[in-house]
Structure 1
């Protein structure tokens, strides 16, 4: 079954490491083979990663997009340990992230990472 992706005018998409930008009209793509992709709305740029949880999200993106991300997986463990020390209430998020990565459910891991970043942001207010 094909994956249907709709892009807004000018919206970006990463597919298997290639950055694609849509033209000036809404477009629909059907992806018929397995691939690794992230929509622009799902991406946290490294320059925007101003908290520990957002940095962890960037690491999750690297793990997902790079097939040989052993260094990034090691970094994920280190970042998780530091976040857990600073925010003990983050444990459920971190367990869910690590379980998702172990199961190769990278979109779920990234989504949970974004929830962790929102939780961290809420605590800092």
Structure 2
């Protein structure tokens, strides 16, 4: 089944590893085969990966768009997940689910779950600040 995407003027996205920037008018794409697709709202720049959970998101994003270096990004994920799990054991169910999605090559789904993890990390951090 084809994927139909409409880009807003100036909107960017990644299709199969290529960064696409739309011109000044809305554009419609139909992607007819299976390739990694990330809209601008789902793309994280490296400088935005400024917390452990955000670094996990960035590593998974790289797994998705750069499969040639998958083992490197997988090791990074495992290291970060271990550190986060030790620091905040309540994150383990989310980390386990993310790991399962990665192991099954469901990277987009893993990214969505990692957004939940990032929000949880923010909540935990705010709670620590309030109690300090």
State how far apart, in whole Å, the 1-side matches of 2:16 and 2:2 are: 16
1:52 aligned residue: 52
2:75 aligned with 1:94, yes or no? no
Residue 67 (structure 1) shift: 1.6
Residue 119 (structure 1) shift: 0.4
Provide the aligned length of Structure 1 versus Structure 2: 125
Task: Considering fraction of residues, name the structure with more helix.
Answer: 2
Q: TM-score, normalised by structure 1?
A: 0.96
Q: TM-score, normalised by structure 2?
A: 0.91
State how far apart, in whole Å, the 1-side matches of 2:42 and 2:52 are: 17
State how far apart, in whole Å, the 1-side matches of 2:22 and 2:84 are: 36
In structure 1, the gaps of 5 or more residues are none
Structure 1 residue ranges (4+ consecutive) displaced by more than 6 angstroms after TM superposition: none
State how far apart, in whole Å, the 2-side matches of 1:123 and 1:30 are: 40
1:19 aligned residue: 19
In structure 2, the gaps of 5 or more residues are 127-132
State how far apart, in whole Å, the 2-side matches of 1:124 and 1:67 are: 32
